[in-house]
């Protein structure tokens, strides 16, 4: 990252650079040595800021404005961050962007009220690390290091950052997003508790895994996971989890208790097994000992036998458990299954919309399971179904592994409580590497263990990708029918339809597509191509139909799509049920129908129709095809046909050029992604475009059919219909999608968030809309950085 970009100041913003002539600057550069809140007071001198940044460099940097406001809130005495933040938010609230800084002000008040001891000396760094270690729009550690290096070599370059610019909405959004920490830290005490988690506390020393186990069982499998880039993050955690794991690996019945001797006596049993010495007591003493369970019995001497409990592990794959918590969940599951002392079989289910049985015995199976994600937010229904319908037997021991936040969900809590007798262990994970184990015993949940994993240390040295040849004859990677965002509408179409107010397209690839237009196309003054037209979703593929002729579309009573086709040259009328593939046709040579007749839909029937001609040919929708000649025409047919034709004609210009011949995927010397000779870059604020690449590619991805794999294991899956799927080797980066349209503004989306052109936003989407700059910083840039850092 450039020095200027990170330290850039802005007009009408809540902080600015100033010069204090009485205080000499560091590194011989005396100008702009102070940062202050305009009209209020100083935040800190530049040397102090740079020392703080140097300490924070190993974990990366939060946005500069957010960092400054936290440092300002730490000050004793009078401070005013509320006024400047409100003023800045009001100034930059224009157009579609409405900023409100109240949540951020509320959080800064918590920093202000922290006890003084937590805002002094080294605790300042611990506090900043606690607040910003998982911050949105964080600058990576490598970029932070490079920026510091430039500053200490050429501090005078900072002068360019002091010239104020107009801040776009994305700049303020980055700072406010980084300060919106109320959910993570609801109280001042929660901040203090989190800070203590970064300090070595005596009571936690035995819970933090420090020594790797020397057990050799399953060593080869764990080694394979570590050597494979796609499973490296999971595999590198398992031995650390083993070394701290304190749960029973197997059970013996009747408890592997000793046989014979004093240790085999019990205070419960049958009278015929009571010790003879008990009968020597007086009657009153004897009865008291029996009544109070004090009498001694000889336990039945049977050899220990293996337990009949079946161990089942349930892994939450909902959207809330995505990223690092999911990696921890799979690592915890494999640690239990492959533990050196575990000898019994173990079943594993991935819980989403349903419970899907999975296997974690091979590297390939682990890779496939890690890519599994369910679109549901929580898995209470699948968890309840597991206990009620599939596993009603009592002799099961269930582990449920989920994100810490999911346990607070009311629905999930209810299912866990109702099945606590069989849900033996509850395992929760967090994004900072913490795993907590809870045990249900006699109806109560007890916290038995916490393991804190040093993720940055364990994931510091990923393996290199094994050399592989390009395989163009292998199996094509499976593609979904649709994605969270719309496809670009193709320019090559057979025809388009308007059916009951909805727009449909029959593409040249023999697909039935559904699209829509924005309401503002009636207002010519606000007409805008990318706001009026929208992409499409695929309804049906591989339609067996000739591309010549005239077409009409309708639905039958079963809501199946019926495609009617009239081929004048062949004198053939046909009807195809797109859902069931049922087909019927009729030769109409004897009817002498002129070639000028058009095929239309009106009033629950198809018609062969011509304007100003009273003769109609009615074609049924239900059943096999048949034609009926009608001599008198309803006047509404002509009016409806004109209106429908006018509306459908608006789709003629809605197509975009799609990149569908994929080759030479890589990253060029400027760090931009290149797809088939097209460079993916941001030409202006909050935009993403493809343009012709004119630069050398320095990192190539290996191709296997439609999948491109980079050296670190990150993948791009290409869909010739116009979509790219990005899967990083770093599982904390969510899977995301970018359309492959060669022209026009693009979008970037995950399963839950969306940024970019509304052209790709589904009509009834539940995606949370973000700015394109924010989405690129959080997903695309870190995807590329992961690949480049690996290469370095």
Query: Which string of DSSP letters, residue by residue, matches 287-354?
Result: HHHHHTT-S-EEPP----EE---EEEEEEE-SGGG-SHHHHHHHHHHHHHHT-TT--S-EEEEEESSS
Residue range 640-669: average pLDDT? Answer: 85
Which of 61-75, 152-166, 732-746 comes out lowest in average pLDDT?
152-166
pLDDT of residue 564: 94
Look up the CATH number of domain 219-251+306-458. 3.40.50
Is the pLDDT assigned to residue 521 strictly greater than 80?
no
- Measured in whole angstroms, the distance separating CA 110 from the mean position of its chain's CA atoms is 30
pLDDT band at 631 (very low <50, low <70, confident <90, very high): confident
Q: Which segments of 661-757 are extended strands (E)?
A: 666-668, 673-675, 678-681, 689-692, 697-700, 702-704, 707-709, 715-719, 723-727, 736-739, 747-749, 753-756
Q: Which residues pair with 8 in a beta bridge?
A: none
pLDDT of residue 540: 93
pLDDT band at 262 (very low <50, low <70, confident <90, very high): low
Q: What SS3 state is found at 681?
A: strand
Would you list the domain boundaries of the chain? 3-199, 219-251+306-458, 257-303, 493-653, 666-791
Residue range 578-584: average pLDDT? Answer: 90
The tokens for 350 are 């991935």
CA angle, residues 360, 786, 377, in degrees to nearest 5: 55
pLDDT of residue 201: 33
Report which of residues 429 and 346 the model is more confident about: 429
pLDDT of residue 212: 35
DSSP states of 578-592: TTT--EEEEE-GGGT
Angle between helices 363-370 and 324-337 (to 10 degrees): 150
List Cα–Cα distances, 211 to 202, 206, 241, 242, 720, in angstroms: 17, 11, 10, 10, 49
Phi, psi dihedrals of residue 315, rounded to the nearest 5°: -110, 125
| Mean of the per-residue pLDDT values of the chain | 81
DSSP states of 342-403: --S-EEEEEESSSEEEE--SSHHHHHHHHT---S-S--HHHHHHIIIII---S-EEEEEEEE
Q: Is 370 exposed, middle or buried (0-12, 13-18, 19+ CB in 10 A)?
A: buried
Is the pLDDT assigned to residue 313 strictly greater than 70?
yes
- Containing 538, the helix (H) or strand (E) segment is strand 533-540
The tokens for 670 are 């400027």
Which of 75-89, 561-575, 752-766 comes out lowest in average pLDDT?
75-89
CA distance 327 to 333: 10
Q: Averaging pLDDT over each range in 3-17, 465-479, 635-649, 720-734, which range is the top one?
A: 720-734
pLDDT of residue 777: 92
What's the predicted TM-score (pTM) here?
A: 0.51
pLDDT of residue 2: 65
Is the pLDDT assigned to residue 635 strictly greater than 80?
no
User: 5-10: which pairs have CB atoms within 8 A and are 24 or more residues apart?
Assistant: 6/61, 6/64, 6/139, 6/147, 6/161, 7/64, 7/158, 7/161, 8/161, 8/165, 9/161, 9/162, 9/163, 9/164, 9/165, 10/164, 10/165, 10/166, 10/167, 10/171
């Amino acid at each position: 990252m450039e020095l200027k970009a990170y330290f850039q100041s802005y007009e009408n913003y809540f902080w600015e650079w100033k010069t204090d002539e009485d205080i000499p600057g560091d590194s011989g550069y005396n100008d702009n040595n102070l940062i202050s809140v305009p009209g209020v007071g100083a935040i800190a001198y530049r040397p102090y800021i740079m020392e703080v940044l140097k300490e924070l460099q190993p974990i990366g940097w939060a946005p500069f404005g957010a960092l400054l406001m936290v440092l300002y809130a730490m000050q004793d005495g009078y401070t005013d961050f509320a006024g400047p933040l409100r003023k800045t938010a009001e100034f930059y609230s224009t157009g579609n962007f409405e900023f409100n800084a109240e949540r951020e002000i509320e959080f800064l008040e918590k920093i202000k009220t922290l006890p003084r001891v937590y805002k002094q000396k080294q605790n300042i760094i611990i506090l900043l690390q606690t607040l910003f270690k998982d911050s949105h729009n964080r600058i990576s550690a490598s970029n932070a290091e490079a920026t510091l290096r430039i500053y200490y070599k050429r501090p005078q370059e900072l002068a360019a950052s002091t010239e104020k610019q107009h801040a776009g909405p994305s700049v303020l959004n980055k700072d406010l997003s980084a300060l919106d920490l109320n959910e993570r830290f609801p109280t001042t005490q929660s901040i203090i508790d989190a800070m203590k988690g970064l300090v070595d506390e005596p009571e936690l020393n035995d819970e933090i895994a420090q020594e790797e186990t020397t057990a050799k069982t399953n060593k080869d499998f764990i080694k394979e996971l570590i050597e494979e880039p796609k499973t490296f993050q999971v595999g590198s955690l398992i031995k650390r989890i083993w070394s701290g794991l304190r749960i029973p690996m197997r059970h013996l019945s009747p408890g592997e208790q000793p046989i014979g001797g004093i240790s085999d006596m019990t205070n419960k049993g049958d009278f015929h097994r009571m010790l003879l010495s008990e009968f020597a007591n007086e009657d009153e003493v004897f009865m008291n000992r029996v009544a109070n369970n004090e009498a001694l019995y000889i336990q039945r001497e049977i050899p220990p036998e293996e337990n009949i409990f079946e161990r089942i592990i349930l892994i939450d794959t909902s959207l809330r458990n995505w990223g690092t918590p999911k990696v921890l969940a799979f690592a915890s599951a494999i640690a239990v299954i492959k533990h050196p002392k575990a000898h019994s079989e173990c079943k594993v289910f991935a819980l989403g919309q349903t419970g899907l049985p999975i296997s974690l015995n091979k590297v390939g199976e682990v890779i496939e399971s890690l890519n599994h994600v369910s679109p549901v937010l929580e898995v209470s229904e699948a968890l309840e179904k597991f206990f009620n319908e599939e596993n009603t037997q009592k002799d099961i021991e269930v582990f449920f592994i989920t994100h810490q936040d999911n346990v607070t969900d009311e629905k999930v809590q209810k299912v866990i409580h109702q099945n606590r007798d069989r849900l033996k262990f509850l395992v929760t994970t967090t994004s900072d590497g913490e795993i907590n184990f809870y045990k249900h015993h006699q109806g109560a949940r007890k916290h038995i263990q916490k393991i804190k994993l040093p993720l940055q240390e364990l994931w510091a040295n990923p393996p290199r990708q094994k050399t592989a040849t390009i395989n163009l004859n292998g199996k094509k990677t499976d593609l979904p029918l649709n994605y969270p965002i719309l496809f670009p509408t193709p320019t090559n179409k057979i025809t388009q339809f308007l059916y009951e107010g909805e727009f449909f397209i029959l593409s040249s690839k023999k697909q039935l597509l559904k699209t829509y237009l924005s309401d503002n196309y009636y207002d010519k003054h606000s007409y805008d191509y990318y706001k009026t037209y929208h992409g499409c979703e695929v309804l049906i593929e591989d339609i067996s139909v000739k591309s010549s002729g005239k077409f009409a579309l309708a639905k039958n009573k079963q809501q199946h799509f019926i495609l009617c086709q009239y081929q004048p040259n062949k004198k053939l009328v046909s009807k195809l049920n797109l859902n069931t593939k049922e087909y019927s046709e009729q030769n109409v040579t004897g009817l002498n129908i002129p070639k000028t007749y058009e095929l239309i839909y009106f009033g629950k029937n198809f018609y062969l129709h011509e304007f100003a001609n009273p003769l109609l040919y009615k074609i049924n929708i239900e059943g096999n095809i048949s034609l009926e000649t009608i001599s008198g025409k309803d006047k509404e047919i002509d009016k409806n046909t004109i209106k429908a034709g006018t509306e459908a004609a608006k789709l003629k210009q809605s197509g975009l050029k799609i990149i569908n011949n994929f080759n030479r995927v890589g990253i060029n010397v400027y760090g931009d992604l290149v797809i088939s000779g097209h460079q993916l870059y941001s030409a202006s604020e909050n935009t993403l475009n493809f343009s012709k690449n004119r630069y050398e590619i320095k990192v190539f991805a290996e191709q296997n059919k439609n999948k491109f794999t980079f050296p670190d294991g990150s993948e791009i899956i290409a869909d010739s219909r116009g979509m790219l799927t990005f899967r990083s080797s770093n599982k904390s980066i969510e899977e995301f999608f970018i359309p492959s349209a060669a022209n026009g503004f693009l979008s970037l989306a995950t399963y839950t968030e969306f940024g970019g052109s509304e052209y790709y936003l589904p009509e009834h989407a539940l995606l949370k809309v973000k700015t394109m700059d924010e989405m690129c910083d959080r997903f695309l840039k870190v995807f590329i950085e992961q690949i480049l850092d690996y290469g370095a």
